[in-house]
A = this chain, B = another copy of it.
Amino acid sequence: METVVQKISRSPITNKEYTLPETTDDKAGIDRFLSLHPGKKVIVVQGLGFVGSVMGLVVANALTEEYAVIGIDLPSPASYWKICSINEGVFPVLASDPKITLYYENARKKKNYYATYDPYVYTRADVVVVDINLDVKKSASSTAGAGDYSVDLGPFKKAIESIGNNCKEDILVLVETTVPPGTSEKVVKPILQDCLEKRGLPTGKLMVGHSYERVMPGPKYIDSIQNFYRVFAGTDEKSTDAVEKFLRTVIRTDEYPLTRLGNTNATEMAKVLENSFRAMNIAFMVEWSRFAEEAGVDIYEVVNAIRMRPTHRNIMLPGLGVGGYCLTKDPLLASWAKMNLFGSTERLHQSEKGVHINDKMPLYAFEYLQSQYSGSLEGKKALLLGVSYLNDVGDTRYTPVEGFYDQLEIEGAVITLHDPHVLYWEEKDIWVNQDLDKILEQEYDLIAITTGHKDYRDNPALIKKLLQQPASFIYDTIGVLTNEEIKALAEKHTVKVIGRGDL
């Protein structure tokens, strides 16, 4: 670990390096940009991550109004390159959605999307859309299902303060971040009021609202913002009205009607409840997968039969585990809020339990491998097909492949990685292979399918390649192999599938 403060920020897209600025002064840049857009409302998007950078793009391509859009992030090694990249003409997010390029080119043409690191920008904002992260810190033992975690609101509060210390008195602050329920009312609004008061400004015109996003990086990245059922509320009537008015200009509300809820606690709860429902239903299948393995049942055919009923369509399939930024933490945010913002003495036990079970899934998957694989894995050549946590997307945030990879490494296996959507596994600092044919020219003792990418599904060429391998152990952790494929492979290899007993 480096302790010296890094002075550069490197773009993983262009590999270009940027020296961090000495001060946060970008007043000239901001003023120059805004002078191009007189009379337009200024929308500031706080946070240029997976959500904010693309939200900025959508606002710059608003449906019924012309906005001047400024994205702001910290001039840190992790974020500064994004700021430079947006201003230089390279969008800082790689995505298979062609609309990203289209929207970005359009914004370049209209010159209406600028990025900065100077909080001065808030003095000029009519609306600030908050898209920064709010993380849960899990203890090291948590991946083993022990379940200790903590929520530190510190960085989030600081970001809100930087708005309050600069903004106009009649600002609309629209929080899109997934926050512990209660945050808009009990944290954001009081901080902003406090800041305004300290600056000698009245607080009566301040507006605060919450509307959660459901951004899905991938082929429908833009649509996941613009063509989506938005749920929203404000901390008072005028805030709610202002949020609605703003959302109507950027979201396709004719086809995807807005849902207005009674208060921000409700919208904040809706988001974490949605994700807790999902996380818990994934966790639910873990024990049933084990049961299916014991009973010689193919859980996939069982689940598909059950899904015929509309009332049971949301039942999940088993897998390697849960990844991504939301399902892995949102139930914990909720439970934390219940205790810490509303003074309850009871956690959301079941929802927390869901996260803990899911955190353990890669370990379960590994244990099942160990129970089926004869002999030691030490020195064995292992190929993992898939690094991303999600099919057909290159997103490695909290990917369950990591836990599985770590276990293999502990046991001394020699691991090769393939993922058509991941060039570089940031969290592990590993480069990933893209050429499936080429890596299959080498021989492996173990080949595990660890992401359900299209490339591994219904791919006769892959099966043919696998059949050319020497007898090895093929482990489908996602259930992408069909019965026919399993039958074919089983003539040469040992084939095991999570949730499928030997039939």
Contacts and interface: CB of A to CB of B under 8 A. Distances in A.
A402 B367 CA distance: 45
A30 interface: no
Nearest to A298: B262
Interface in A323-366: 334, 337-338, 342-344, 346, 348-351, 353, 357
B315 A277 contact: yes
Contact of A291 (B290, B305, B344): B344
A302 B269 contact: yes
B314 A311 contact: yes
A216 to B, nearest CB: 11
A350 B342 contact: no
A298 B266 contact: yes
A187 interface: no
Interface string A292-334: 1011111001111110111111110000000000000000001
A426 interface: no
A265 B357 CA distance: 25
Given A280-B284, A291-B269, A312 B309 contact: no
Contacts of A353: 350
Nearest to A261: B301
A306 B348 contact: no
A403 B344 CA distance: 26
B181 A344 contact: no
A481 B314 CA distance: 28
A270 interface: yes
B262 A503 contact: yes
Contact of A290 (B274, B294, B337, B346): B346
A269 B297 contact: yes
A357 B288 CA distance: 19
Oligomeric state, in number of copies?
2
A385 B376 CA distance: 65
A259 interface: yes
A229 interface: yes
Contacts of A348: 287-288, 291
A281 interface: yes
A31 B263 CA distance: 71
A333 to B, nearest CB: 12
A278 interface: yes
A144 interface: no
Q: Which of A214, A297, A308, A334 has the most CB atoms of chain B within a 10 A radius of its CB?
A: A297
A171 interface: no
A349 B276 CA distance: 18
A420 interface: no
A164 interface: no
A313 B313 contact: yes
A342 B308 contact: no
A242 interface: no
A262 B301 contact: yes
Contact of A294 (B262, B288, B314, B338): B338
A266 B308 CA distance: 15
B287 A273 contact: no
A503 B181 CA distance: 15
A157 to B, nearest CB: 20
Interface in A104-128: none
A51 interface: no
A311 B278 contact: yes
12 contacts: A263-B296, A263-B503, A266-B298, A269-B292, A269-B302, A273-B303, A283-B350, A287-B350, A287-B351, A291-B342, A291-B348, A313-B313
Given A269-B288, A278-B312, 10 more contacts: A214-B309, A229-B305, A259-B304, A261-B302, A262-B297, A270-B305, A273-B302, A273-B315, A274-B306, A313-B314
Interface of A: 181-182, 214, 229, 231, 259, 261-263, 265-266, 269-270, 273-274, 276-278, 280-281, 283-284, 287-288, 290-292, 294-298, 301-306, 308-315, 334, 337-338, 342-344, 346, 348-351, 353, 357, 503
Q: Which 7 A-B pairs have the closest CB atoms?
A: A314-B314, A229-B308, A259-B305, A266-B297, A265-B295, A231-B305, A294-B342
